[in-house]
Chains A and B, each alone.
Chain A
């Protein structure tokens, strides 16, 4: 009985320690479930404990009709879809796949390493790991940050999934809605147009 209690206490301490470490690490950029229109990604990880972390970026892969690994089509995904895919990735095997906004079901995609693991040690109260990843093609990516113990073992993990789309030059027509001109400016604009 005493042994069981001791084991439970040790297990509880370990869980609490892992829990506190997961709070000590947060992915600032890319923000979780974001849709990025770019060919580069800024990875910024905030660490608020004196610990080491390992940062790895994965690219999710889908399969085409011939079974070849291809980039996930994210052209119609929104942030809710990415959040569903991210949570379904961690769900148990027999969990039913949630439906996405386009009517299809979420998948558990295979992943390949896009940017190899990099270790960073924070020696102060607050530290940042920052890196710009260039040459990013449209697809689904996941930034995984592992908190490492003294012997390099993974204690806790946080991750952030993002969809990268091609740069879109389409202008939001509502961007300048509500821009104003004073009566004086209006009259001046009118006169200017009339007398040119």
Chain B
């Protein structure tokens, strides 16, 4: 009897030991780095079961435009969907990189002459992409000597049918890749019958200045004002909760919520390691401490895309889909602990939506994680177009508002004659595009001219009247 009891006691002790060891093991798995990465609260809680559709990098790094020049100073621009042109250029680069080639540096004047005085085509981005990362992402064989090159454009010219030009306008550096075997021809321009963006000439030819920005000669437009609703206004609390759940993920249960008298809600994890602020105007701002390693341009961009997909999403729910494209990418810091600041612009039917308050989606990815995320997006409730109506010409909009632009650019500190102001402004033009201006007081999108200047400021003018609507600096 005693023996049986002793065996039973020993068996109980063994069970206790096993339970104790199992507890330690589970605790280790729960709190260790490898454990937390595989074990996620969001996988158990209801909000964590959402499958977020994140776009891939290729769908947001579309070029701003494809310009096709006839060699006589005139250009046609495709500023709508440039995905097919990008795909064709990537295929050309793939074939090119796989053939025997040489890399040469050319001057800005040589490159510009090849692209403006001869039949040519070029893709243009408003930000610079690391060339090697671009090649790696698209499976293009790496090209020796181009490791540290960044690019804002890729050009083809009949002046050199054996070459592809890699353009880095921001650093004024230009490369010519010459193939020993291949002969290329510029991409064909968009058929004029279906073309609604007009013909473009350089500002030098239209205004008689030194700027080589492309200005449209366009007479009519169908753009009409449209109504929108800010994301938060369409259901403030659920949207806010979804944002917070997406942003805090596993740690959401441990988040404090503070609401002030103005209606601004702040969600905070720990002692401010992560904060999400939701303001009553519909904008969100997320900040977090990060530690890890940068995954390079495309890796960090995908991290940003995934984060946005989880925190608010990319798809508008309005009657008209709003698409987003990368509009600005800046390198922050250096090495593995550095990263990129990404800004995304909203587009509706190929036209960009501009706002004085900046970009609708902005993120900073540092050390491999999102450390800052700001979101102020809208949903269109009704998209409208009207019968073609005469627009105020871009050249005249710039000329008649030169004094206003000059004052803003110089902080109202300098005075100038009409001629001086006009010359200063004309030389500083970077681009003039048709788009929509987000008029926040009226919750409407107003058809506009957006004139971007070399100091980074952008001025908005009514498309039909040419009157100033606002500016961003």
Q: Which residues of A contact B (CB under 8 A)?
A: 26, 28-29, 36-40, 42, 44, 46, 48, 123-128, 130-132, 167, 169, 171-172, 175-176, 178-182, 184-185, 188-189, 191-193, 196
- A-B CB proximity, top 8 nearest: A38-B72, A188-B144, A185-B145, A124-B400, A28-B208, A128-B395, A126-B399, A189-B102
Q: Which residues on B sit within 8 Å (CB–CB) of A48? A: 418-419
Q: Does B300 contact A (CB under 8 A)?
A: no
Assess the A193–B113 pair: CB atoms within 8 A: no
Q: In the complex, which residues 85-133 of chain B have their Cβ closer than 8 Å to any Cβ of chain A? A: 100-107, 110, 113-114, 118-119
Which of A125, A132, A180, A188 contacts B418 (CB under 8 A)?
A125
With an 8 A cutoff between CB atoms, is B402 at the interface? yes
By a CB distance below 8 angstroms, the chain A residues around B160 are 171, 175-176
| CB–CB B206/A44 < 8 A | yes
20 residue pairs A–B, Cβ–Cβ below 8 Å: A28-B208, A38-B71, A38-B74, A40-B72, A40-B74, A42-B205, A46-B208, A124-B396, A124-B399, A124-B400, A126-B422, A127-B399, A127-B400, A132-B199, A171-B158, A175-B113, A175-B159, A181-B104, A189-B144, A193-B100
A132 touches B145 (CB 8 A): no
Residues of B contacting A130 with CB < 8 Å?
A: 206, 217, 393, 395
Interface residue from B70, B100, B107, B113 paired with A178 (Cβ < 8 Å): B107
Other A-B contacts than A42-B73, A171-B160, 17 sampled, CB-CB below 8 A, are: A28-B207, A29-B205, A36-B72, A39-B72, A40-B72, A40-B74, A42-B201, A125-B402, A125-B422, A126-B400, A127-B399, A130-B217, A171-B118, A178-B110, A181-B105, A185-B102, A192-B144
Q: Are B396 and A127 in contact (CB under 8 A)?
A: yes
A28 in contact with B119 (CB, 8 Å): no
Chain B residues closer than 8 Å to A36, beta-carbon distance: 72
Give the complex CA separation of A136 and B37 in angstroms: 69
B403 lies within 8 A of chain A by Cβ? yes
Minimum CB–CB distance from B361 to chain A (whole Å) comes to: 36
Q: Which B residues are within 8 Å of any A CB, using their own CB?
A: 70-74, 100-107, 110, 113-114, 118-119, 144-145, 158-160, 176, 180, 199, 201, 205-208, 217, 393, 395-396, 399-400, 402-403, 418-419, 422
CB distance from B115 to the nearest CB of A (A): 11
Cβ of A181: which chain B residues have Cβ within 8 Å of it?
102-105, 145
Among candidates B107, B119, B217, residue contacting A169 with C-beta atoms closer than 8 Å: B119
Taking a contact as CB atoms under 8 Å apart, the answer to whether B145 and A182 are in contact is yes
Which of these, A37, A40, A189, contacts B103 with CB under 8 Å? A189
How many angstroms between the C-alpha atoms of A120 and B418 in the bound complex? Answer: 20
CB contacts (< 8 Å) of B180 on chain A: these are 193
Give the residues in chain A near B400, CB-CB below 8 Å. 123-127
| Assembled-state Cα–Cα distance A43/B461 (Å) | 24
Chain A residue numbers with a CB within 8 Å of B402 are: 125-126
Whether the Cβ atoms of A128 and B206 lie closer than 8 Å is yes
Nearest chain B CB to A136's CB is how many angstroms away?
Answer: 10
Given contacts A42-B201, A44-B205, A126-B402, contact A179 B104 (CB under 8 A): yes
- Interface residues of A: mostly helix, strand, loop or mixed? mixed
A193–B145 alpha-carbon span in the complex (Å): 14
**Which of B71, B104, B207 is in CB contact (< 8 Å) with A128?**
B207
Give Cα distance in the complex from A184 to B105, angstroms.
12
**Best-buried of A36, A178, A181 by chain B (most CB within 10 Å):** A181
Bound-state CA distance A40–B201 (Å) is: 12
Beta-carbon contact of B102 and A28 below 8 Å: no
Chain B residue nearest to A193 in the complex (CB)? B100
Do residues A179 and B106 form an inter-chain contact, with CB atoms below 8 A? yes
Interface hub of A169, A178, A192 (most chain B Cβ within 10 A): A192
Complex Cα distance, B215 from A29, in Å, reads: 14
Closest Cβ of chain B: how far from A188's Cβ, in Å?
4
Chain A residues, CB < 8 A from B73:
38, 42
Which of A28, A167, A193 is close to B72, meaning CB atoms less than 8 Å apart? A167
Task: Find chain B residues with CB under 8 A from A40 CB.
Answer: 72, 74
Cβ distance A107 to chain B, nearest Cβ, rounded Å: 27
Tell me, in angstroms, the Cα distance from A44 to B74 when the chains sit together: 13
List the B side residues contacting A175 at CB < 8 Å: 110, 113-114, 159-160
Q: Complex Cα distance A158/B201, Å? A: 23
Given contacts A175-B113, A175-B114, A180-B104, contact A167 B71 (CB under 8 A): yes
A134 to B159, CA, bound (A): 24
Residue on A nearest B159 in the bound complex, by CB:
A171
Q: Is the CB of B206 within 8 A of A42?
A: yes
In the complex the two chains form, what is the Cα distance from A130 to B396 in whole Å?
A: 9
Residue in chain A with minimal CB distance to B205: A29
Known A128-B393, A176-B106; judge A192-B399 contact (CB<8 A).
no
Shortest Cβ distance from residue A30 to the other chain B in the assembled complex, whole angstroms: 9
Enumerate chain B residues within 8 angstroms of A184, measured Cβ to Cβ.
Answer: 145
Chain B residue with Cβ nearest A191: B144
Nearest CB on A from B389, distance (A): 18
* Contact call A38/B144, Cβ cutoff below 8 A: no
Taking a contact as CB atoms under 8 Å apart, the answer to whether A28 and B110 are in contact is: no
Closest chain A residue to B393, Cβ basis: A130
Q: Decide if B119 touches A125 in the complex (CB within 8 Å).
A: no
CA of A180 to CA of B178 in the docked complex: distance in angstroms?
Answer: 12
